[in-house]
Structures are given as structure tokens and as C-alpha cells.
A and B are shown apart, each in its own frame.
Chain A
Amino acid sequence: MKNRARLSLRVPTPPARPGDAPDFSSIKLEAAGEVRRPEIDARAHDVSDLAYALIRVLDDKGRAVGPWNPKLDAETLRRALRAMLLTRAYDDRMYRAQRQGKTSFYMKCTGEEAVAIAASFALERDDMCFPSYRQQGLLIARGYPLLEMMNQVYSNAHDPLKGRQLPIMYSSKAYGFFTISGNLGTQFPQAVGWAMASAYKGDDRIAASWIGDGTTAEGDFHHALNFASVYRAPVILNVVNNQWAISSFAGIAGGNESTFASRGIGYGLPALRVDGNDFLAVYAATAWAAERARSNLGATLIEHYTYRVEGHSTSDDPSRYRPIDEAKLWPLGDPVERLKDHLIALGEWSEDRQQEAHREAVEQVKAANKEAEAIGTLGHGELPSLKTMFEDVFKDMPEHLRRQRQQMGV
């Protein structure tokens, strides 16, 4: 018998499970305005503290403070708020459509709207986004037609993806939105490749990609950071830490031991950690990274610290693995409310105007949905032509596929 303790295996667990009181006591929040803003040409090594801090601009009273305040004009802020409201209204409508059996599946981004929408405001229109499945706000903020999104969700005759993809897995080259994969993180190193190509061609466009905290455990995350660092690719690599990967809390992905942003340090990339529920902070961090990328200074890793208010998808019941009221007590609040409060604090908005904007968003979604449902919903109404099933496997249809199509009689 050896005179020392036996080993024991540690499996991390979240601070609270169903039936427990939500516990966010371990979260350390910097005050809004507290974190420094370095010059864009700062060396990664000299800004490593930012990978552990939390960049915040909006304070509890809705005021924008500190060096990261992007000082956006009121009209831009109002447009952003409307885009967030529209995204939320769209999510609500599509969620209900799934519950009504009109589509198979849906994923909301409730609580995370600022992540995608602030990024789309900070990026140029022709920059290429490589999103995960929870950045529908990018398309909405860029003005992609809601009707097209719905046609895709319903896999109806006008589905731009011809009934091939799961709902929510949009694709639009024209809107700089790369086709979404269900395999986690594959888009991260692809975005780096796209950015390398842009640099190779002497273009001025940059790429941006988004993954969740859980996906940082995938090999592709590390390939992306390494390639981005090695080739100084003009890309923004975003980790949306929404605390939950289906039922596994961020600690299982490795978030207990260090921040996700800190992963960038080992790769020599500047890394920012930002309050993902603060539109201004996300905007400012993205703009900083974008300017850096456009100045040929390479990639930035950004961790967006936020909370997934809803379930992972319509197939998930979060009350099975976390306290039912946890989302309400999330200490960084709601991104829509916070931007609204900011505009009101500026004297540029009001609760009445908010109500009116909300109604407008709901009406806009309703009108588009009426049109989409008239074309068809999953399995009902007009479908894409069956013969398109055999198209786009290759650029030109090879003989064996032509024969299979004939066998099917189309």
C-alpha cells in the first residue's frame, strides 16, 4: 500500500441543476468602460489581458461609457434595434410554425441577437460570413428577404436550397452568408481559407466566422486558429459562449479552466472577451478586429459572453438540465432591452416607440409568413421539383445519376 491518496477523476458540473437556485456568483464582471482599448496594431502578446477581461460599454443605466464606446449615431442604433426586434419576432413565428407541424425543426437565437446583428453592422456588406446555425441575425440585418428564409425553413417550392437542407441552414453568396453545416466547427478553418484567398488576391474583403463554446473542443477550432496565425489571415474568429452546448455546460468544453478567448494567446492571436449582450461592445470589438484585419495585421479571436435563453433547438427541453429561471437571472441582461434603454437614455427613443417597433416587426414577419405558407410548408402545398434532387451533386450530371433520375421517373 502506497502512502499517498488514490487518484480521483474530476468531471466538472455546473453550479446549478434543475431544482437548484441559479448561481452566477462565479462570474466576474468588469464595470462598463473599465477595460482598456489598445491600438489596432498592438501585438497579441501585449494585449493578452483582454482575453480574460470582459469588454463592456453599456452600463446599468443604459449609458455608453469608456474607451470602447463606438459612438454610433442614433439612427444606426435605431436600425440595429429594429433588426434585433425583427430577428426575435422571426424566431418566435418560426418556433410556433414548428410547434404547429409546419416544419421539422427550428433554432432560436433569443438572448444572442446582439452577437450577429452588431457584427453585421460592423462588417462591410461584401465581407464573407461563415456562421453557425444561430446567426440568422446576420441575414436579417443585411436585409435578406424574410420570405426566402421562411421558404427555406418550410422546404417549399420556392426554397432557394430546393428542399435539401434542414430548416435554419441558410445559404446566400449574394448576402455574404456561407452555407451552414450541421457538423460543428467545419466553417471555422474554411473561413480562414477564404480569408487567405482574399489576401492572396490582394482583395480588401475579410472573413468572419462563428462557433459556439462547445465547438471549441473540435479539432477544426484549433486548425483555424493555427492557420489564421501562421498565414496572418484577415479573419475574425468568433466564439459565442452562450454557456450551454445542448445540455453540457461550458465547463465541459473546457471553459472552467480558462476563458475561450485565452485560447488565442497560445496561437499568437489577439483575443478579446466581450459582453455579448451589449450591442455596443460587440460592435466595437468587431470593428477593432475588422480594422486590424483590413490593415493586414491578421486575425482576432473574440469570445462573446452571453446566454442561450431558449433550448438548443425545438428538440430540446432545457428544464431537464438547468434551473428553469436561470435565463431570467443572467447577470448581463437582455440585449434588446439594453439597447432600447440606451436609446431612451440618449433621448432618442421611448417605450411607446419600442412597442410600435415591436408591432411593426411582428406584422412584417406575419405578412412574410402568410406569403410563405401560401406557397407551402414542409410536406404540404407546392414542393420543389423532384428532379432537382439529382442536380448540383456535380456541376454536370454524370451518367449514373442521370440513370437514377430516369429510374425514379422524373
Chain B
Amino acid sequence: MPAMNMIQALNSALDVMLTKDPNVLTFGEDVGYFGGVFRVTDGLQKKHGLTRCFDTPIGEGGIVAAAIGMGAYGLRPVAEIQFADYIYPAYDQIVSEAARLRYRSAGDFTAPIVIRTPYGGGIFGGQTHSQSPEALFTHVAGLKTVIPSTPYDAKGLLIAAIEDDDPVIFLEPKRLYNGPFDGYPDRPVTTWAKLPAGEVPEGYYTVPLGKASVVREGGDVTILAYGTMLHVALASAADSGLDCEVIDLRTLVPLDIETIVNSVKKTGRCVIVHEATHTGGYGAELSALVQENCFHHLEAPVERVTGWDTPYPHAFEWQYFPGPARVIAALKRAMEA
């Protein structure tokens, strides 16, 4: 099985689906000839042709609207928004249109589209290349929101997303494109090359939407994480000396409620980690869900470790980034309560 980084895995997913289904196309800013600024679509235009993988004007609303029209026709477009920070001009088309076509037409028109976009911090992207907008989408009825944390999952989830009949927001943690990141910026850079999650089959496979993964089993405390924070959570678990259970949510909508609830009932403690700002973040939803379902099993208040309620500051990236020190502190608070 070949070693792939997340970029190659995503490229492979698109390649597999472009080969398998003539209704799949992919497009976006710099996606075609150049292969995307992160190289996710590298070589796809050359292999599959100009009409299957192409460049678009810089107009995010137009990109998503065109995808919706194509989806309504019967194609399965995969649109790329170059950075999640630039998705806001397309927000109306995503929220008011893609999310609701099926509902408002009683199933007559649908938008089986995927909107891929790199998100998150840790690359010194400043406040316009670092945001985590997932909660803006999870709040909207009719959208599915997927966030992979490994190359293997990235490929399997993207194929599942393309085959899904509903609109999917596919957020790619760009800090993980080339290797995992545990939140210690001073440690040597690691790559996916020798990690099991970097072993990616070349052909077709799927990772189903709506299934979380228990990445580390433990009895003391449950950590809920996704994207880059999954790796921060694992490092924090290892360094905390606690017997942590770490769950990678993989998809935020639909959410694997059962896996979360079973784990928290077992451990009695829950720490939620995400990069997005604190107030109204997806952690608030997770926290409420745990409270609703596990109240009588909880030994401690649910903890949230998140970005601060400020835009992402360029010079203070590591102070902003919810790194292991803050996660470990939260784990200890949870254990001491």
C-alpha cells in the first residue's frame, strides 16, 4: 500500500471518482492547469481533460452557484474554495440555496455537490488564511460537514462525500496536508510517510459519513476532537499521563452521537478541543449534547479548549492555537473536579 500525504490522498480520491463517474467534475480558482495552490488537483486536468477539471473566475459565489446548477442538472460537481476564509462570498449560495433545494422543492431538485476548502491555523496564515468556520455550516439544516484528520480518512471520506446525494462541506485541515501536527511547534516536523494513517489504498474505498473513530481507548477522560486538533489531543493524552479516550469525530453533521455518549458514560469526563473561536463554536454543541445525554454519569464539568474569541493573530499564532499545554491543563481540571 503506498504512502500518501493528505494532499496525495485527496488527489487520489478525485482521480478515482473522475475515472469512475463521468458526472463528476472539479473546478475552482487555480484548480485546473496549475493543480491548485496546495496541489490537491495536480495532474487531474492533464489526465481527465479540460472539461473535467478546470479553472474558474475568482468569484466564490459564482463557483458554488454553478456547482448547484450542475448538481440540479444531475452532475456531481466538486468545487474548491481556495481557503475557507474566502468562503463567505459564497455563503448565501451554500446556506440559502444548496442546503435547501431538496427541502423547498420537496425532493424535486437536489444539490449533490461537494465544496472542498482548506481551513484552520498553524501555518502562519494570519487572520485571512487560518479560520475554522465549521460552526457556521453545522448550524445550517441541510448541509453535511466533514473534517478528516488523516490521509486514509481524507480519501475515504471525500469519495463518500462525492457519492452522497446531499451537499457536503469538506473542510481540509491544511496544517495536516503534509504531516500530522501535535501542537508543539518547536518539535521536528513529521510527515505521513511512516504512519499507518498515511498508508492509503490506490483504488476505490469509502469511509462512511456519520461514523466517529475511537482513536485511543482509555478510562479516565474522553477527548472529542477533529481535524488538526485530533493530533493535538493524542499528544496531550500521551503527555498528560492520563488514561484518555480520544475520539475523532470525522463528520460533524451527521454526528455519531452514540460513540460520544457511550465513551463519556464510561469515563465520566469530557474535554472538547477545537481551533475555532470559543463562543458559539461547535464545542458548545458537543458540550450541550454531552450534558443532555450523560448528565448523571459526569464526574466533572465539561471542558472546552478552543481558539480565543479574537480573529487569528499572525504574530501570536502559538498563543492563539489551542496547543497541548492548554489541553493538558483542561484534562487535569477535569480529573481534579
Contacts and interface: CB of A to CB of B under 8 A. Distances in A.
Contacts, number: 145
B126 interface: no
Contact of B59 (A186, A196, A227): A227
B70 interface: yes
Interface stretch (B89-97, B173-181, B238-246): B89-97
Given A190-B72, A393-B103, A398-B254, A200 B65 contact: no
B70 A400 contact: no
Interface in B163-187: 164-166
A247 interface: no
Given A183-B96, A395-B102, A399-B254, A189 B66 contact: yes
B67 interface: yes
A175 to B, nearest CB: 10
B106 A197 contact: no
A207 interface: yes
Nearest to B209: A398
A179 interface: yes
A224 B65 CA distance: 9
B69 A164 contact: no
B25 A190 contact: no
Given A186-B96, A193-B66, A193-B69, A171 B102 contact: no
Q: Which of B57, B69, B142, B144 is most buried by chain A, counting CB atoms within 10 A of its CB? A: B69
Contact of A179 (B62, B109, B210): B109
A219 interface: yes
B93 A195 contact: no
Nearest to B51: A200
B335 interface: no
Contacts of A162: 106
Contact of B74 (A192, A197, A226, A399): A197
Interface residues of B, number: 46
Interface string B103-130: 1111111100000000000000000000
B138 to A, nearest CB: 11
Interface string A172-203: 11000011010100101111111111101100
A189 B103 contact: no
Interface of B: 25, 51, 56-57, 59, 61-62, 65-75, 77, 89, 92-93, 96-97, 101-110, 141-142, 144, 164-166, 210, 253-255, 257-258
- Across chains A and B, which 7 residue pairs bring their CB atoms closest together, nearest first? A193-B69, A223-B62, A193-B66, A189-B65, A197-B73, A194-B69, A179-B105
Given A189-B69, A197-B74, 9 more contacts: A178-B72, A183-B92, A193-B73, A219-B59, A222-B59, A227-B56, A392-B107, A394-B166, A395-B165
20 contacts: A164-B103, A171-B104, A178-B109, A179-B109, A181-B96, A181-B97, A183-B96, A186-B97, A189-B66, A189-B93, A193-B73, A196-B69, A207-B69, A219-B89, A220-B93, A223-B61, A223-B62, A227-B62, A227-B65, A394-B166
Interface of A: 128, 130, 160-162, 164-165, 169, 171-173, 178-179, 181, 183, 186, 188-198, 200-201, 207, 219-220, 222-224, 226-227, 230, 391-395, 398-400
